[in-house]
Amino acid sequence: MPKRPHLIDALAGFGVTFKTMFKKPITEQYPEEPGATAQRYHGRHQLNRYEDGLEKCIGCELCAWACPADAIFVEGADNTEAERFSPGERYGQVYQINYLRCIGCGLCIEACPTRALTMTNDYEMADDNRSDLIYGKDKLLAPLQPDMTAPPHAMAAGSTDEDYYRGNIRSDGLATPLGMPSVRSSVTPKRAAL
């Protein structure tokens, strides 16, 4: 097999350099103008709320079990009629995510039965203190909207926890159907026709 002269190899290597030398450089003004992320970007986690302000997390700990990096700690507690944080029997009293361990895989999102946990597009989480990278409920809970009431408070009048899970609760406390129909209501007529 004939050897190529070293000069040809050098010119091939410099070809890449010369191509990029004449292209206009792209400069991102990062801290001042953060770049856009993809819609399904795996950023910081967020604990969501129902339309009336109650928390969606029921403290089941499935997200912690699904996490391969053991980055999530959940401690559930029972709701009472005097102090209700979520519509079900339980809520996540302590919720922590250790971002020193989190690998951003999203398995916790898939494991959540109430869609309480989602990932935002926020990626600026750098800190100079390791203990500040362990986020608790205070940093993870979605902010209250103006029409929401801060928990603990009672469920909407005349509603059940099933109304919340199906999305039939509005911020004004009425239990009326909103959005897409529930899975059970859309499947039942098809089965009846068979």
Q: Per the annotation, where are the binding residues?
A: 57, 60, 63, 67, 102, 105, 108, 112
pLDDT tens-digit readout, 134-171:
999 999 999 999 988 899 988 888 888 888 888 877 66
Q: Residues 66, 108: contact at Cβ < 8 Å?
A: yes
Sign of CA dihedral 60, 63, 67, 73: negative
Tokens of 15: 């070809």
Q: Per the annotation, where are the binding residues for [4Fe-4S] cluster?
A: 57, 60, 63, 67, 102, 105, 108, 112
Does domain 45-161 fall under CATH 3.40.1280.10? My reply is no
Q: Residues 45, 121: contact at Cβ < 8 Å?
A: no
Contacts of 66 (CB under 8 A, 6+ apart): 107, 108, 110, 111
What confidence score (pLDDT) does residue 183 get?
39
Q: Residues 117, 55: contact at Cβ < 8 Å?
A: no
Written as one letter, the residue type at 111 is A
In the DSSP assignment, the letter for residue 23 is S
- What's this model's pTM, rounded to 2 decimal places? 0.73
> Where exactly are the structural domains of the chain?
45-161
pLDDT tens-digit readout, 78-106:
999 889 999 989 999 999 999 999 999 99
